[in-house]
Amino acid sequence: MFTLKKTNTLKRLFRPLTLSLCCALPLSAQAHFQMLYTPELLRDKGGEISFKLPFTHPAASGHVMNVAKPQAFYVIKKGKQTDLINTISNIEWASSVDKGLAYQADVTLRGLGDYVFIVQPSPYFEKEEDIYIQQLTKTIVNVGNLPTDWNQDFGLTAEIVPLTKPYAIYEGGIFSAVVKSNGQPVPFAAIEVEFMNYTPDMQSNAFAKTPTMTPPADVFVTQTIYADANGTFHFSLLKAGQWGFAALGVGEQKTYKGKELSQDAVIWVQATKLP
């Protein structure tokens, strides 16, 4: 038996239920997710690559939140960190309900191996929850089928460290990882999971009009799991595509501008259909 001690985590987990009870509306739990999206995480060769960085609800093509420019954006390859903040430009991202400020990054990949892209967004104030949210997000792109850095712990204040190659998982396979803060496992971390159900259109900066699948009930839109006592979790990727994992409130910084801060760790992984 365990208990949740982080007030901001509790607020975020139970807010959809509270809204449903107060407003007499159907329960629809949509998690916030910082996207760091590029279509393919496994590439045969290097070259130009683009990322889209909206802060939104990818499983439901939901509200796009306006967030200030990221505080940091960089890539780590074979232990070397390269600053990419100057590659970021403003775009407008469209969902099924609205449009909002988002960002794009255009990067050149040179050489084989893993490219660990990390974005540290500016904190976003969520009025409904009365807290700030900051999601340190990681996407790992591999070039040439040569694994290098994918399972490294970079000592971030909020981080999900993979135990499974995030770009080499069959549909139906298991993704395993450890939730950490400053290199230390976070026991019983609450983790929200969403499938990228509306494929991003890289040309029009928008989600697809129709979903990849229709969830059988609203409770399937965002699933919540918990890490074990060692901060480790496992999840089966039952459908091909990209999946997001957000460990809530695991960062060491708990306040920002006099309000609670939920400093989350996010990672995006990709499942591939069996040949």
Residue-wise pLDDT tens digits, 29-83: 568 999 999 999 999 999 999 999 999 999 999 999 999 999 999 999 999 999 9
In a domain, 57, yes or no: yes
Q: What are the φ/ψ torsions at residue 219 (nearest 5 degrees)?
A: -65, -15
What residue type is assigned to position 80 of the chain?
A: K
The one-character DSSP state at 12 is: H
Structural domain for 90, as ranges: 32-272
Range 84-108 average pLDDT = 98
Mean of pLDDT over the chain: 91
DSSP string, 24-86: T--------EE--B-S-SEESS-EEEEEE--EE-TTTT-PPBP-PPPSEEEEEETTEEEE-GG
Report the chain's C-alpha Rg in angstroms: 18
- Asked if the structure places residue 23 within a domain, the reply is no
Residue 245 lies in a domain: yes
In a domain, 227, yes or no: yes
- Tell whether 52 is covered by a domain: yes
* In the predicted structure, residue 195 carries a pLDDT above the cut 90: yes
* Mean pLDDT of all residues in 236-265: 97
For the chain, what is the domain count?
Answer: 1
pLDDT given at position 78: 95
- One-letter amino acid at 147 equals P
Position 12 in a domain:
no
Classify residue 41: in a domain, yes or no.
yes
Q: What is the dihedral of CA 69, 92, 55, 112, to 10 degrees?
A: -80
pTM of the model: 0.91
Instruction: Report yes or no on 18 lying in a domain.
Output: no
Q: What is the 3-state secondary structure (H, E, C) of 183-195?
A: CEECCCCEEEEEE
